[in-house]
Structure 1
Amino acid sequence: MKILELTYTYQLFYTILTLIVLLVINIILKKTAKRIGDKGEIHITRIRLMFRYINILIVFIAIFLLAIVWGMDLGDLALIFSSVFAVIGVALFAIWSILSNITSGIIMFFNFPYKIGDKIRIHDKDMPIEALIEDIKAFHLHLRTDDGELITYPNNLILQKAVSLVQKDVFLDEGKNAL
């Protein structure tokens, strides 16, 4: 047992150090996302979605760094990562719209002027929409029309179309009227 400890002392030390550093980075990134979300009055479900993205990023970085710490050759590591990303790339190319919706969801988290509860008008020549934003998901928005119809609108399209604000935070206004 003592020989095993002496043999892997540096690897164990650097593994613990790597995990601690990544944990601190994870906490900092999540606090930053929370601060941006609170400042922009972003709904908590969207903030939690960013937390998931941050966790995935940290896991990929951890796998890469721990493989280096435990002695994997950089050439082998590059081969593994390039193979994995090639397979993922082919799969995502086949379903590119999902990737574009996720990317649009991330962009919307940081820079989207409309919030849940706002009534918006989407200026689309084929199908203009005037509806209330009920929820903002990773892939799409839930919009509710005045007729009660639920429309799921893809995130990538909402960034491509002209959108105007009809009424700011309808839920808030209904609460004021109830008083």
Structure 2
Amino acid sequence: MYEVFSTYKTEISYTVATIFVLLIVQFLLKKAAHRVGKRSEINFTRTKLMFKYINILILLIAVFLLSISWGMGFAELSLIFSSVFAVLGVALFAIWSILSNITSGIILFFSFPYKIGDKIKIHDKDLPIEAIIEDIKAFHLHLRTLEGELITYPNNLILQKAVSLVEKDVYLDEGKSSL
């Protein structure tokens, strides 16, 4: 055991330092996301979704840095990452709508001015919608119309349409409005 430690002392030191620094960065990013969520009165489940995205980012950075610290060269790393990103690019191009909704979900987390419980009107030429926001998910919004109909509205479309606030903090009782 001592031989292994003495042989790989530098790599082990880099590994411990990398993990320690990334844990601190992860903590700071989660704290910042939590602060933004609290200040903007964002539902905690949406904040937890941002925590998942932060975890994925930190994991990718950790794999990259630990690979370098254990002696993998930039040529090998660039080959691996370019291959992985090429496959992911083809796969994500095939499902670009899902990627678009995830990206829109992140944008909505930081800049959507409406909250759960607000009554909004979506100004769509073909299908205007007036409903109460029940939930904001990673891919879509759950909207409840005045008739009690549940509408699942994609996040990427909510960013493309004009939306106006009709009433703030409408009381929701088991999915039905008090209107």
TM interval, shorter chain, is over 0.9
Q: Which residue in the other structure is 1:28 paired with? A: 28
Q: How many angstroms apart in 1 are the aligned matches of 2:4 and 2:136? A: 52
One-letter amino acid matched to 1:110: F
Q: Which residue in the other structure is 1:133 paired with? A: 133
One-letter amino acid matched to 1:69: S
Q: How many angstroms apart in 2 are the aligned matches of 1:13 and 1:111? A: 41
Which 4+ runs in 1 deviate beyond 6 A?
none
Structure 2 residues not aligned, in runs of 5+: 173-177
C-alpha displacement of 1:6: 1.1
One-letter amino acid matched to 2:52: R
Q: Which residue in the other structure is 1:13 paired with? A: 13
Q: Which residue in the other structure is 1:157 paired with? A: 157
One-letter amino acid matched to 2:44: I
Q: Which residue in the other structure is 2:40 paired with? A: 40
SS at match of 2:41: coil
Q: How many angstroms apart in 1 are the aligned matches of 2:56 and 2:5? A: 31
Q: Which residue in the other structure is 2:111 paired with? A: 111
Q: Which residue in the other structure is 1:91 paired with? A: 91
The answer to whether 1:3 aligns with 2:3 is yes
SS at match of 2:160: coil
Structure 1 residues not aligned, in runs of 5+: 173-177
SS at match of 2:75: helix
C-alpha displacement of 1:171: 2.3
Q: How many angstroms apart in 1 are the aligned matches of 2:12 and 2:170? A: 55
Give per-residue Cα distances to partners, 1:81-121, cap 9 Å, x unaligned: 01001000000000101001000000000000000000000
Q: How many angstroms apart in 1 are the aligned matches of 2:100 and 2:163? A: 19
One-letter amino acid matched to 1:164: S
The answer to whether 1:60 aligns with 2:60 is yes
The count of residues paired between Structure 1 and Structure 2 equals 173
Q: How many angstroms apart in 2 are the aligned matches of 1:171 and 1:37? A: 21
C-alpha displacement of 1:47: 0.2
C-alpha displacement of 1:18: 0.3
Report percent identity of matched pairs.
Answer: 71
One-letter amino acid matched to 1:9: K
TM norm structure 2: 0.95
